[in-house]
Amino acid sequence: MDNFIEELKVQIIDTLALEDITPEDIDPEAQLVGGDLGIDSIDVLELVMMVEKIYGVVIDSKELGAQVFTSLGALGAYIQQTRNAGGAIG
Amino acid sequence: MADQRVFITGMGIISAMGNGVAETLQALQQAATGIRALTLFPCPVETLLPVGEVRGLATGDDGVPRTHQLASVAAREALGDAKHVPDMVIMGVTTGGMLATENYMKEGHRQPRFSYYHAAGSVADLVAQECGCRGPVLTVSTACSSGAVGIKLALEILRRGAVRRVLVGGADSLCRLTYYGFNSLQIVDRSGARPMDRDRHGMSVAEGAAMLLLTAADHPPAGALAEILGGGLTCDAHHPAAPHPEGRGAQEAMTAALEDAGLTPGAVDYINLHGTGTVENDLAEGFALKKVFENRLPPVSSVKGSFGHSLAAAGVIEAVVAALCIREGFMPANVGWRHQDEAIGFSPLVAPLHQPVQTVLSNSFGFGGNNAALVFAHPGFREAVKARPSARTLRVRAYACITGAGGTSATLARFFRGASCQGTLAADRLTDGLPPHAVRRMKRLARMALGLSTRVVSRAGRADPVSDVYFGTAWGALSETHDFLEKLYASNEFYTSPIDFVGSVHNAPAGQVAMRARARGANVAMTGGDASFEQALTAADYLAANGRHPVLVGGADEMHPVFSALFDPSVPMGDTPADGGGMLFLETAGDASPLTLRPGYFAPGGDVSESLQAALAYHGGPRTFNDRIGAVMVGIPAACREDCAPHLDDFWGRLGFKGPLIDYRRYFGEFASASAVAAVAAMALLERGAIPGALAGGEEWPLAGRGILLLGLGATITTMLAASS
Report the candidate in B204, B242, B182, B145 with the shortest Cα–Cα distance to residue B484. Answer: B182
What's the pLDDT tens digit per position in B39-88? 999 988 767 899 999 998 976 667 789 999 999 999 999 999 877 899 99
Mean predicted confidence (pLDDT) in B178-197? 96
Length of chain A: 90
Q: Do residue B45 and residue B194 come from a single domain?
A: yes
Q: Strands B707-712, B226-235: parallel, antiparallel or unpaired by DSSP?
A: unpaired
Do B581 and B622 lie in a common domain?
Answer: no
Digit-coded pLDDT (tens) for B267-287:
999 999 999 999 999 999 999
CB-CB neighbours of B211 under 10 Å: 33
Instruction: Enumerate the residues of chain B whose CB falls inside 8 A of the CB of residue A62.
Output: 186, 279
Q: What is the pLDDT of residues B556-608, one digit of tens each?
A: 999 999 999 989 999 999 989 999 999 999 998 666 689 999 999 999 988 89
Residues B223 and B183 in one domain: yes
Judged by CB atoms closer than 8 Å, whether chains meet at B440 and A52 is answered as no
Instruction: Tell me whether residue B389 is in a domain.
Output: no
Measured distance CA(B434)–CA(B458) in Å, rounded: 13
CA dist B338 and B192 (Å) reads 13
Instruction: Judge whether B499 is closer than 8 Å to chain A, CB to CB.
Output: yes
B480 pLDDT exceeds 90?
Answer: yes
Residue B248 and residue B178: Cα distance in Å, rounded?
26
Question: What angle separates helix A41-55 from helix A72-84, to the nearest 10 degrees?
Answer: 30
Closest Cα to residue B122, out of B476, B394, B634, B609? B476
Domain identity same for B60 and B184: yes
pLDDT of B13 > 60? The answer is: yes
What integer pLDDT is reported at residue A60 of this predicted model? 84
Q: B424 pLDDT exceeds 90?
A: yes
Do B652 and B691 lie in a common domain?
A: yes
Residue B387 lies in a domain: no
Per residue in B333-363, pLDDT (tens digit) is: 999 999 999 999 999 999 999 999 999 999 9
- Of the candidates B240, B241, B495, the beta carbon closest to that of A49 is on B495
Cβ atoms B609, B709 nearer than 8 A: no
Which residue in A38, A41, A45 is closest to B184 by CB distance? A45
**CA-wise closest residue to B473 among B403, B525, B407:** B525
Residues B546 and B640 in one domain: no
**B124 close to B140: Cβ distance less than 8 angstroms:** no
Residue of chain A whose Cα is closest to the Cα of B443: A17
Summarised one tens digit per residue, pLDDT across range A49-90 is 999 999 999 998 888 888 899 999 999 999 999 988 865 444
Question: How far is CA B241 from each of CA A43, B144, B185, B251, B365, rounded to the nearest angstrom?
Answer: 12, 11, 9, 17, 11
Q: Which amino acid is located at B713 in the chain?
A: L
Structure confidence at residue B112 as a pLDDT band (50, 70, 90): low
Task: Give the list of residues 6+ apart from residue A11 with CB closer than 8 angstroms, or none.
Answer: A50, A54
Judging contacts by C-beta atoms under 8 Å, the chain A residues touching residue B242 are 41
**Separation CA A14–CA A18 (nearest Å):** 7
Domain termination site, one of B343, B377, B411: B377
| B26 vs A: CB within 8 A | no
> Interface pTM (ipTM) of the complex?
0.90
B393 vs B546, higher pLDDT: B393
Whether residue B587 is found in the same domain as residue B603? no
**CA distance from start to end of chain A:** 20
Closest C-alpha among B304, B339, B300 to residue B34? B304
The answer to whether residue B386 is domain-embedded is no
- For residues B253 and B232, the answer to whether their CB atoms sit within 8 Å is yes
Same domain, B136 and B241: yes
> Cβ distance B309 to B337 under 8 Å?
no
With 0-12 / 13-18 / 19 or more C-beta atoms within 10 angstroms meaning exposed / middle / buried, residue B708 is buried
Predicted pLDDT of residue A90 = 41
Write the CA distances from B478 to B227, B366, B574, integer angstroms. 39, 20, 19
On the question of pLDDT at B703 being above 70, the answer is yes
Evaluate whether residue B628 is within a structural domain: yes
Question: Are B533 and B555 spatial neighbours (Cβ–Cβ below 8 Å)?
Answer: yes
Bigger pLDDT: B566 vs B709: B709
Q: Is residue B388 part of a domain?
A: no
- Measured between beta carbons, which residues in chain B are less than 8 angstroms from residue A61? 186
Do residues B535 and B607 both lie within one domain? Answer: no
CA torsion B153-B157-B158-B162 (nearest 10°) is -160
B314 and B421 in a common domain: no
CB contact under 8 Å between A42 and B440, yes or no, is: no
Clarify whether residues B436 and B319 are in a common domain: no
Domain that holds residue B243: 5-377
How is residue B124 annotated by DSSP?
H
Residue type for position B450: L
Cα separation, B698 vs B688, whole angstroms = 17
Query: Does residue B383 fall inside a structural domain?
Result: no
